[in-house]
């Protein structure tokens, strides 16, 4: 399955993406994680991206699209993928369309997570991530605490508060989402790809809702385009 996950910062995209990708047996591709890996490795791309990320702004489209296209050209994406945090602008969505069309691939669904802005700020400010692995396990001090305070359940690494997770930066990222990213929902609605769910409730409840929505989208897709 080829899926795009879209939603404001704090909606739990990363957490849900991990479960959904595992369930669908497809790679989880997060442009945020890819940028953070570049930053950790000190690459020129990482240095360029960090200036924007620290300010809570989007990394320019040409940088982001180049990195995403390269990732999507890797052989492990042949059986599908789950994109988390990409595309984030209409220009990125158009570039993704072109890329997939050139490979005769198409998206199966765009899953949109919805959450009120104030709840998103609370979630972001309490978020703690484990930098000790490439898939960055995510916790929340109240909603999804680790078993031991400040320690990753998965690898025992020390949890950290992301530089761009301050309340002030969170509000800026939410505004950027509203202005620059929300228009992609309309773009994909015109392609009849969008399924929307509420991201409120426990992690398990949202995962269940998401899996049901994706199964429905898959069934609808199969009935429209048999054999694809
Ligand atoms: P995330 O981990 O998805 O919350 O992304 C963290 C930050 O990485 C964002 O606030 C942006 O600065 C940058 N970023 C991630 N994905 C994109 C994208 N598709 N376009 C532009 N910037 C991005």
Which of 15, 17, 31, when mutated, tests ligand 1's pocket best, judged by the most ligand atoms within 8 Å of its CB? 31
Burial 186-222 (b: 16+ CB within 10 A, else e): ebbeeeebbbebebeeebeebbebbbebbeebeeebe
3-state secondary structure at position 226: coil
Q: Which of 35, 36, 138, 161, when mutated, tests ligand 1's pocket best, judged by the most ligand atoms within 8 Å of its CB?
A: 35
Residue 45 domain-assigned (yes or no)? yes
The answer to whether residue 167 is domain-embedded is no
Nearest-atom number in ligand 1 for the CA of 30 is: 3
- 223 C-alpha to center of ligand 1: Å? 35
Q: Residue written as tokens 């072109």? A: 98
| Residue of 61, 69, 132 whose CA lies nearest to 96 | 69
Residues of the chain scoring pLDDT < 70:
133-136, 221-228
Asked if the structure places residue 129 within a domain, the reply is no
pLDDT on residue 99: 93
53 lies in a domain?
Answer: yes
pTM of the model: 0.88
Query: 190 C-alpha vs ligand 1 centroid, how far in Å?
Result: 24
Q: Is residue 209 among the annotated active site residues?
A: no
Query: Residue 183 has what pLDDT?
Result: 98
Give the pLDDT score at 143: 84
Angle between helices 44-54 and 61-72 (to 10 degrees): 130
pLDDT for the residue numbered 227: 45
Q: CA-CA-CA-CA torsion for 36, 126, 199, 201, nearest 10 degrees?
A: 140
- How high is the pLDDT of residue 104? 81
Nearest to 96 by CA among 110, 111, 76, 116: 110
Full domain range(s) for residue 92: 2-115+185-223
Q: Is 105 a catalytic residue?
A: no
86 DSSP 8-state letter:
-
Q: Distance (Å, rounded) from C-alpha 223 to C-alpha 96? A: 25
Residues 6+ apart with CB under 8 A from 123: 10, 11, 12, 115, 140, 143
- CA 199 to the chain's CA centroid: 13
Determine, yes or no, domain membership for 127. no
Residue nearest to atom 12 of ligand 1 (CA): 53
Report if residue 140 sits inside a domain.
no
Containing H/E element for 195?
Answer: strand 194-198
Q: CA angle 184-190-195, nearest 5°?
A: 70
Nearest CA to ligand 1 atom 6: 32
Question: Element (H or E) spanning 158, and its range?
Answer: none
Identify whether 16 is part of a domain: yes
Domain assignment present for residue 23? The answer is yes
Q: What is the pLDDT of residue 224?
A: 63
Note the pLDDT of residue 212: 96
CATH number at residue 42: 3.40.50.300
Query: What is the domain count for the chain?
Result: 1
pLDDT tens for 70-115 read 999 999 999 999 999 999 999 999 999 999 988 888 999 999 999 9
Question: Cβ neighbours of residue 95 under 8 Å, at least 6 residues apart?
Answer: 61, 65, 69, 87
Catalytic residue among 105, 160, 162, 172: 162
Half-sphere exposure of 49 (CA within 13 A, CB side): 24
């Amino acid at each position: 399955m080829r899926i795009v996950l879209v939603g404001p910062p704090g909606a739990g995209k990363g957490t849900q993406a991990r479960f959904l990708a595992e369930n669908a047996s497809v790679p989880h591709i997060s442009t945020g994680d890819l940028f953070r890996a570049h930053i950790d490795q000190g690459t020129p791309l990482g240095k360029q991206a960090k200036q924007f990320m620290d300010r809570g702004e989007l990394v320019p489209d040409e940088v982001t699209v180049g990195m995403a296209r390269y990732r999507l050209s890797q052989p492990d994406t042949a059986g599908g993928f789950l994109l988390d945090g990409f595309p984030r602008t209409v220009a990125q969505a158009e570039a993704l369309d072109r890329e997939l069309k050139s490979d005769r691939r198409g998206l199966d669904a765009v899953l949109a997570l919805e959450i009120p802005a104030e709840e998103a700020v609370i979630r972001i400010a309490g978020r703690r991530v484990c930098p000790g692995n490439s898939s960055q396990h995510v916790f929340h001090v109240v909603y999804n605490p680790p078993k031991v305070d400040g320690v990753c359940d998965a690898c025992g690494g020390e949890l950290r508060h992301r530089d761009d997770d301050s309340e002030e930066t969170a509000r800026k990222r939410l505004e950027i989402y509203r202005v620059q990213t929300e228009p992609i929902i309309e773009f994909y609605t015109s392609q009849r790809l969008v399924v929307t769910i509420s991201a409120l409730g426990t992690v398990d409840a949202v995962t269940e809702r998401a899996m049901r929505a994706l199964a429905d989208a898959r069934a609808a897709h199969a009935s429209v385009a048999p054999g694809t």
